[in-house]
């Protein structure tokens, strides 16, 4: 139980994933510092981590809901 809670809080200990996270954070830091002020809020470290899922929940639509929205118009 203790190990499960640790992994849920800090993520996997897989070395490749940790390298990808570190590289993504460094690239995002560099990009934020070298872009104009109006675009800095658009840069996220998850943009530079192709194998990592963003913590922001994406709006998922089921096939049935999509088909109903097409017929309702």
Distance CA 21, CA 15 (A): 10
Q: Quote the Cα angle for 35-38-43, to 5°.
A: 60
Distance CA 34, CA 25 (A): 14
Q: Is the pTM of this model over 0.75?
A: no
CA distances from 30 to 5, 8, 23, 61, 64 (A): 32, 29, 11, 35, 43
Task: Check residue 54 and give its pLDDT.
Answer: 63
Task: Check residue 31 and give its pLDDT.
Answer: 94
Task: Check residue 51 and give its pLDDT.
Answer: 82
* Domain ranges across the chain: 2-52
Print pLDDT tens along the chain (73 aa). Answer: 888 888 888 777 888 888 999 999 999 999 999 999 998 888 988 889 888 776 655 567 777 877 888 887 5
Q: Could you give the count of Cα atoms lying within 13 Å of 52 in the half-sphere of its Cβ? A: 22
Residues in the chain: 73
């Amino acid at each position: 139980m203790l190990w499960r809670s640790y992994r849920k809080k800090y993520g996997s200990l897989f070395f490749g994933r940790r390298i990808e996270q570190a590289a993504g954070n460094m690239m995002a830091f560099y990009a934020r510092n070298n872009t104009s002020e109006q675009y800095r809020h658009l840069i996220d470290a998850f943009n530079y981590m192709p194998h990592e899922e963003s913590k922001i929940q994406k709006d998922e639509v089921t096939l049935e809901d999509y088909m109903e929205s097409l017929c309702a118009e």
